[in-house]
Structures are given as C-alpha cells and as structure tokens.
Chain A
C-alpha cells in the first residue's frame, strides 16, 4: 500500500516536472525563434562597409599582364579580372555598368587603395607582412612561385640563380614587387622598371636578357609569345600568396571578400564547379606547367547568408 502510494507520489512529481520543463522548453524555443541571429550576416557586413550605397564598385586591376589582367578590344580579361568579377557580383555589383575597372601599376596598388581611388585591388598582389601594415588582404586566392623568363637566345645559358648573378646578363623586374626584394636577397643585380611588360618589351628589343616575376605573370607572356620565351624554374624558395587588397580601414569589406573566396573554395572542395575553377580553366589553366587548386583562404569570418540552408551534398 505504502509502496504504491509512494509510487503515485513519485509519478505525480515527475509529471509536474515534465509538464513544467516542456512548457519551459517551449517558451525558450518561442523566444529563441524571435531573436536576431547571433552571427553577423553578409547584409550587415555590407551595411558596415564603405561600399554600401555606392552605385559602382571600383576595382584596381592590371592591364598589361596577359592571362592575369589585360585589356583586349576594350574589355578587361584575365584570371584576376574574373576573380574581381566574382567578388563584385557577390557584393551586389554585377554587369559591366556596375564595375569600374581602374588600371593600377604594380607600384600604384597600395597608394590607390590608401587614396580611395579604388575599393579593391585584384592584381597579382602578394600578401606580405610589410604590406599588411598599409592595406588589408583577403585570401590568398592563388599560390604562385617566383620564376625567370628567358628568351630563346639564352635558354641554355641562364638556368640557375648563379647565372643571374653573372654581370654580363641584365636582369629586369618591376618596381615595388616582391620579386625585386627576393632578387636583392640573392644578390642578383637588377634593372627595375615600372611593369613586367616593360621588361618583356626590353628583352625583345635586346635591352635586357631575362625577367623575373611571378610564374602566373610570366606564363601570360609565354602565352602571348609562345615561340620566343621559356620559363626557367629556379629555386627561389618562396611562395607568393596572391590576395585581394582592401583599404585597411574597412575590415567589414575584407571579411566579405574573404567569406566569398572561402565560399568558392568550399564549392571546389565539394566537387562543384567553383567560380575560381571556372576562372582558372578559362585563363591560366592551359598555360601553367602544373595544375593548381584554389588555396584555402585565411581568417575567414563566420557569416550567415540567405543560402546557408541550401543542401551541401
């Protein structure tokens, strides 16, 4: 009798607790569904960034780097340009009338960002610690190496870094580039010009004997003059991480660019056709000696977007 009484009491208490907890959980679920998301959204970041409300996005690109950024028939084309178009479209700027491509030379990239002439720079911009003090970077979106482009007349003579040090060869590079610093580190005397294109023109005119730059840039010149040049693989030992330059005072825009680069990276990992892969196949892909994949972008913020609920598989 007492056992059944105690059992009934226990059951009564358990029922009360269960009803109370169910009500509590229901109330918590109701309140929770009415709250704003904890994580910032892409829209919020867009509103924080300096481009919010701008009718046109200004992107700094190169116009003299075949395969990466060049102008053909008045239209900007190249890998960097395609990446810039993808980022611009993701930020809400789709179509030629919404993007203004501003030509920036290698040495003008940082001043253009600092001076507010451009909103972004996508122009073979290597991420370095020194540059990080002046501009922000999102990425990397490409990993390349430093190589040397030699004309056919020197293809057997210039094969090593030691050969570059030979005073009889005039080695050319562009000013303000990471290549310039790297060659200096290896005690290679260089002739510094404004753009790599000037070096190539100089070599064809017999003024210089070799040019050193990123493999991606040099591959463009090989594509332009396939019978005149060859890329020589030299062990400079450094990787160039190409990133998208953003004004240092706009962390929201940097976060957005990093988020969209990562979105492309994730698509590629899932075996889907990513915007990066499409850009690569259409431009650089056929001209590089080894196949490249999109590197994982660093410091990617966690943002919520409208397509977060879409199936991943």
Chain B
C-alpha cells in the first residue's frame, strides 16, 4: 500500500498525527502521511510551513475564505430560519392561501423565530456536530486528495468557539440517550487522542478505565432496565460511543477517505432534508382544546370542544385554526374553557430513565421537568 511505502521511510511514522490545525498550519507540516499518494518522499523533506514563502499566501487565502464564509454564515443564520418559518406557516395553514395570510398577519416575527429555534435547535446542532466531526476526520486525512473535501475546508475556516458552541448546543438539546455520541464526535472534531490525557501509558490506561467504569456505574440501572426490556439499541448507544472516542481521532487510509468524503457529504444533505420535513411541519402555535357553548347556563349539555390552535383573540372573536383544518371564529362570550394539550409526536418510545431523567428528554427538558414536575393531561385532550 502506498501509505505504508510512504511511511516506511518516515522516521515520524509511529507518532500520532497532530490534532486538527484550527490555526492556519498546513497539515503537511506535521502529519506522517502528508506525502502525496504513491510518493516515496519522506515527510521530513517537506519544507517547514513556518519557513515556507507560500505560508503568507496561504494565510491571505484563508483570511479571504474566512471573510467570505462569515458573510455566507450570517446570510444563512438570518435567511434559513426566515424561509423555514414562512414554509412552516404555509404548512400550518393546511396549504390554504387565505389561512396562511391570516397566520402571517397574526404571528409575530419574533414569536415565529423563537418557535423555530425551539423546535429546530436539535436538528441544527445535529447537522453542525456532524459537519464538524466529519470535517475533523477529513481534514486530518484529506490533504492526500487533490481537492480537499468540503467539510474539511468548512471545519478549517470555522472558529473553534463556534464549533465548541455547536457541541454545547447539542449537549443541552439532544436526548440523553444520544449524548454519548457527542464523545466520539467531539474527539473527531478536535482530533483529541487519549495520549493527551497523560504521557505515561499506564497512567493513561488507568484514567480511561476508571472514567469508563464510573460512567458505566452511573448507567447500571438504566442498562439493566434496557436489558430486561430487550432494548438493544439504547444499550449500544450508551455503552459503545465512549470506547469509540478513544480511537476516532487520527488519519484514515486514503481509500477510506475517497469513499467517505462524498458519501458523508451526500448523507448529511439527505439527513438534513429528511429531518427538516418534520421540523417544517411542527406546529407554530400551541395545541389547545376550547370548550364552546351558548352563554346561558341552561344549555350546559350542548357544549362543543374545538381542538386546534388559537391564532388570535380580540374583543369579539377567538380565532381558532382547527387541527383537522378550517378556521373557526368563536364569539368570546361562548368560550367556556380552554386547555393546553400535548401532541402525539411527544409520546416517548422507551420506558428507560437515567436517574429519573427520561432518556428521550434533553438536559434542558429534564431540568425543566424538575422545575414543574407535575404533568397533567386534561381530559379534554383525549
């Protein structure tokens, strides 16, 4: 294999490759696999990056790319939620033009944006984490390719604080069950290897074993429940990722990179579209059941329950967008009661908890349930 041939003469071959350079240092300067494919030129023959006259040009190029990327980024930050929100209003209105216009007239842009962020934060952080993790892996290995993979270039021009913020957002918005996946993705994005823990292998091994044992000890009740319920995926998702985090950093063989770069880029795009559909169709307004009846007490039995989203209320009418479609204008004196209802999408898949935190809750949701622990489903919601 060419890599082996290239590294056989490389005195640094046994050393681990350096972490992903978030400062503009060409990867060729530090990686043992930096030589072009099939080349037998040892890596030591490469002119050190700091001394290279091309370094300055590279810096300039990178600065320009960063500036362009920054513009694109802020355009996306403003544009994507705006477009998504308008799309959501159209879907919420059931595709009816007049209903869409009614929603546009009554749902404020700030509410719309806040609603969008509430429901899309998980998707957004997932995409960012995937891009940066893959970018980290591709960047440390992709310099062998003639054209550097897209994610690798993105990862390089993105400031570290933004990458860290993306992981932080994932930490608080992802379901607890998926949080262990953040370990290998974080290690991949920042190219963190166990060698950073301690220079002595024995101490390193001890630290890793102790940390992993402590982690498993924390999860024992959950793993036991999952085993009893025959749920294999939650066990795998909780146990395996921390182990993967130990090995995930480092360059990949060229043949893998060639396959991985286009496939993962396409996959992330497909996943983005696939996962965006439910986000677009998530309601903008909260689901309620409004009990409506004649104002006189004698007709207590003739009450009607309207399930839908309250668009607006004024002195005369309450405007309700019904769950099954259509808008109802209900005179306010006819409204007898109103309750907030959960939607069926909120039903959990698992009966597993991690120390009383449901595995499908995010840290934010779990903490929220600690603040308001009683959850009552009103009879009218059934």
A and B physically associate:
yes
Q: Does A12 contact B (CB under 8 A)?
A: yes
CA gap between A26 and B129 in the complex, in Å: 11
B65-112 residues with Cβ-Cβ distance < 8 A to A are none
Interface string of B234-263 (1 = CB under 8 A from A): 001100110011111111110010001000
Q: Does A75 contact B (CB under 8 A)?
A: no
Is there contact, CB below 8 Å, between B184 and A11?
A: no
Interface string of B256-300 (1 = CB under 8 A from A): 100010001001000100110010000000000000000000001
* Stretch from A90-98, A116-124, A137-145, A163-171 at the B interface: A90-98
Is there contact, CB below 8 Å, between B184 and A307?
A: no
Q: Compute the total of residue contacts between A and B using a CB distance below 8 Å.
A: 157
Question: How extensive is the interface on chain A, given as a class?
Answer: 35 or more
**Which single member of A4, A26, A33, A95 contacts B175 (CB below 8 Å)?**
A33
Is there contact, CB below 8 Å, between A12 and B252?
A: yes
**Which single member of A12, A26, A32 contacts B253 (CB below 8 Å)?**
A12
* Stretch from A34-42, A172-180, A207-215, A291-299 at the B interface: A34-42
CA gap between A9 and B14 in the complex, in Å: 9
Q: Does B53 contact A (CB under 8 A)?
A: no
CA gap between A33 and B241 in the complex, in Å: 17
Is there contact, CB below 8 Å, between A35 and B375?
A: no
Q: How close is B348's CB to chain A, nearest CB, in angstroms?
A: 5
CA gap between A43 and B343 in the complex, in Å: 10
Is there contact, CB below 8 Å, between A97 and B300?
A: yes
Question: For A7, A16, A22, A25, which residue has the most chain B Cβ atoms within 10 angstroms?
Answer: A22
Residues of B within 8 A of A29 (CB): 177-178, 181, 233, 237
Residues of B within 8 A of A308 (CB): 347-348, 351, 358
Question: How extensive is the interface on chain B, given as a class?
Answer: 35 or more
Residues of B within 8 A of A1 (CB): 8
Q: Does B303 contact A (CB under 8 A)?
A: yes
Q: Given the known A-B contacts A15-B250, A309-B369, are A43 and B382 also in contact in the complex, defined by CB atoms under 8 Å?
A: yes
Residues of A within 8 A of B133 (CB): 22
Q: How close is B199's CB to chain A, nearest CB, in angstroms?
A: 17
Q: Does A206 contact B (CB under 8 A)?
A: no
CA gap between A271 and B172 in the complex, in Å: 31
Q: Does B156 contact A (CB under 8 A)?
A: no
Q: How close is A313's CB to chain B, nearest CB, in angstroms?
A: 5
Q: Does A130 contact B (CB under 8 A)?
A: no
Chain A residues with CB under 8 Å of chain B are: 1, 3-5, 7-9, 11-12, 14-19, 21-23, 25-30, 32-35, 37-39, 41-43, 46, 88-95, 97-98, 302, 304-313
A sample of 29 inter-chain contacts (CB < 8 A) reads A4-B13, A4-B14, A8-B14, A11-B250, A15-B251, A16-B252, A18-B245, A18-B246, A18-B248, A19-B188, A19-B260, A22-B181, A25-B240, A29-B178, A29-B181, A34-B278, A37-B347, A37-B348, A37-B349, A38-B349, A43-B344, A43-B347, A93-B379, A306-B381, A308-B358, A309-B358, A309-B365, A310-B369, A311-B373
**Known pairs A30-B126, A37-B349, A43-B347 / 9 extra A-B pairs, C-beta < 8 Å:** A5-B7, A8-B7, A8-B13, A15-B249, A21-B240, A35-B349, A42-B382, A307-B376, A311-B369
When A and B form their complex, which 9 residue pairs have the shortest distance between CB atoms, in order from nearest? A4-B14, A92-B382, A94-B379, A18-B247, A309-B358, A310-B375, A15-B250, A18-B248, A14-B247
Chain B residues with CB under 8 Å of chain A are: 3-4, 7-8, 13-14, 16, 32, 126, 130, 133, 137, 175, 177-178, 181, 184-185, 188, 233, 236-237, 240-241, 244-253, 256, 260, 264, 267, 271, 274-275, 278, 300-301, 303, 342, 344, 346-349, 351, 353, 356-358, 360-361, 365, 369-370, 373-382
